[in-house]
Chain A
Amino acid sequence: MYVGHRFLDDRSEKRAARGGSSTLPPGPILPNDQREFASNLKWRKFKASLFYGSLVFSVATAVLLLCLLLMELALQGAFWLDWQFITSFPSRFPERAGIWSAIWGSLWVITCTSGIAIPLGIGAAVYLEEYAKKTKFGSFIEINISNLAGVPSIIYGLLGLVVFVRTFGLGRSVISGALTMSLLILPIIIVAAREALKTVPNTIREAAYALGATKWQAIRAHVLPAALPGILTGVILSLSRAIGETAPLIMVGAVAYVAFVPDSLTRCVHRSANPDL
């Protein structure tokens, strides 16, 4: 058979179509055809290398952009970053201004967020992966999680503003910000933890059952420890997202001029990611 040539060579295919013999395999390779094929090959190889070049270009652009970004940040920021800047409160005078309250605000929010989101996220992932039956409802939850992960963060901020700050009366406080942030990173933690739990082979669970373990014993003693590295990766990534996230906290109202370090969950905070600084 002689399909390879026909599949790849557009011109001969068109000619075959014009000749009306497209359904029949063409006859033996003609010298004419062969010459055309050979000349075509050069062009095709040239196109392939051109394509390769453009791909390398796009990758190089992405890498260069990252280097540029990091260099800009380092060059412009390193000069200002000293101990005084870190340990001072925000000030009207630029030379005396600092981010002490902002750092503490970030730490407070991130600590509370991890306290809320990590247990909830891992628990939800364990339930969905180990207990829940694979039904229509399961696939509904699947779509649901990906949708929640796709909702813009500022919408979570509005939600936090309406629900936590207003309706629950928590005010513009650490706890409002942390609850809002937990909602934001919960889907990320759940997705990562589920992926990690999926990689634990079923034989481990079966071995535990064979030794008489109950379901929870198997999960606690075998499945969770085996999935722990993957779960931790997801948790760390989501916390890094939370510490860099700005918009929802602005909506919740965690942006203010604050000249003290928060000392309780209900004090308002100043975040380091605040563009006002």
Chain B
Amino acid sequence: MPPLGRRRWTSPTSSAKYGEELIKGALLLCALCLFSPHLGLSTYWFPKASCSSTRFSLGFPDRNKWTPIIEPQSFGVLPLLAGTVQVAVGAGIIAIPLGLGCALFLSEYASRGVRDVLKPILEILAGIPTVVYGYFAITSVTPLLSKIFPQTEVFNAASAAIVVGIMILPMIASLCDDALRSVPSGVRFAGYSLGATKFEVSTRVVVPGAASGIFASFVLALSRAIGETMAVTLAAGANPTLTLNPLESIQTMTAFMVQISMGDVVADSLEYQTIFAVGLLLFVITLTMNLSAFWVVRRFRKYKSD
């Protein structure tokens, strides 16, 4: 090998170029794996799901009973949908004000040091597996609720809503925080220079400026609450009734899917196929919510970050 100074530079050989292209192709293949869920969904899952949905004519208005396992069978998905909405709305009532408050505190009030402590705490809260939240609901929230309201059932919608609310709180907080921080600080200083208090700057300048991002974070968090499975399966019970009382036991769409796939239902039987129909409904709802959140951010964003 000649010493370094004497070695002559050679242009990449054709085999090296070939290798480059090979690597590029391999990486492209990795990127295309992103579309494998779409492929799987569209080729295998949608036909199955849509076939079973038409068979059950889900959500048919005069059949608001959901009893697929016991005779007489009835496939009105309304009770499941109502249970899901009930839990999601309850979670939103808890998480939206608290989450927005946390985000405002983090982005407007907290010093760097406080922020560095609080952010990891919220991330821990976000990182706890959802099953653990389910146990928390059964062992802590429900006993507490039944002390206040003695008529509380063992499994109830309220405890599920509370823990799902705790679960989506960090998500709302961090997404709102991102949105609030994307408002340029010049706008804030303009507000202060006009004599506004911190409250006025926060509520009349920063929040309106970040409104699209804040709204999108609410929608995304609610869609997460709708798709949430284990916490509601454990906490809300398996009793698909059409009720408005949050202290009663209900069943959500996701909990139903878990119940069927854990039970002794024969594969490919009529009961078994209901999970695909319910899954399709769940998928459509969450996808619509997620897409609308992105659309809102794109369409109504006031300040661009960077």
Contacts and interface: CB of A to CB of B under 8 A. Distances in A.
A146 B139 contact: no
B286 interface: yes
Contact of B229 (A123, A144, A153): A153
A15 interface: no
Contacts of A209: none
A55 interface: yes
A266 interface: no
A62 B228 CA distance: 20
A163 to B, nearest CB: 4
| Interface of chain A: mostly helix, strand, loop or mixed | helix
Interface in A35-94: 44-45, 47-48, 50-52, 54-59, 61-63, 65-66, 68-69, 72-73, 76
Interface string A228-250: 00000000010011011111001
Interface of A: 3-5, 7-8, 44-45, 47-48, 50-52, 54-59, 61-63, 65-66, 68-69, 72-73, 76, 119-124, 126-128, 131-132, 141, 143-148, 150-159, 161-163, 167, 183, 186-187, 190, 212, 214-216, 237, 240-241, 243-247, 250-251, 253, 255, 273, 275-276
Given A123-B31, A152-B282, A190-B34, A47 B197 contact: yes
Contact of B97 (A58, A126, A237): A58
A118 B40 CA distance: 20
Given A8-B200, A162-B48, A59 B30 contact: no
Given A119-B30, A237-B127, A5 B279 contact: no
Given A8-B200, A244-B131, A131 B282 contact: no
A120 B276 contact: no
B131 A273 contact: yes
Interface string B228-254: 111001100000000000000000001
A124 B37 CA distance: 15
A162 B45 contact: yes
B194 A62 contact: no
- Give the 4 A-B CB pairs with smallest separation, nearest first: A152-B227, A244-B129, A58-B101, A123-B30
Contact of A69 (B136, B228, B229): B136
B101 A152 contact: no
Contacts, number: 236
B118 A63 contact: yes
Contacts of B169: 62, 65
A215 B101 contact: no
A47 B101 CA distance: 15
Nearest to B197: A48
Contact-residue size bin, chain B (C-beta under 8 Å from the other chain): 35 or more
B199 A159 contact: no
A124 B30 contact: yes
B195 A72 contact: no
Nearest to B118: A59
Most buried by A among B35, B122, B136, B223: B136
A52 B198 contact: yes
Contacts of B230: 246-247, 275
B211 to A, nearest CB: 18
Contact of B227 (A123, A154, A276): A154
B34 A150 contact: no
Given A131-B27, A215-B20, A59 B102 contact: yes
A76 to B, nearest CB: 6
Given A8-B195, A183-B36, A183-B37, A155 B279 contact: yes
A240 B173 CA distance: 21
A72 B139 contact: yes
Contacts of A158: 45, 257, 275-276, 279
B45 A159 contact: yes
Nearest to A146: B294
Nearest to A165: B267
Contact of A124 (B20, B34, B106): B34
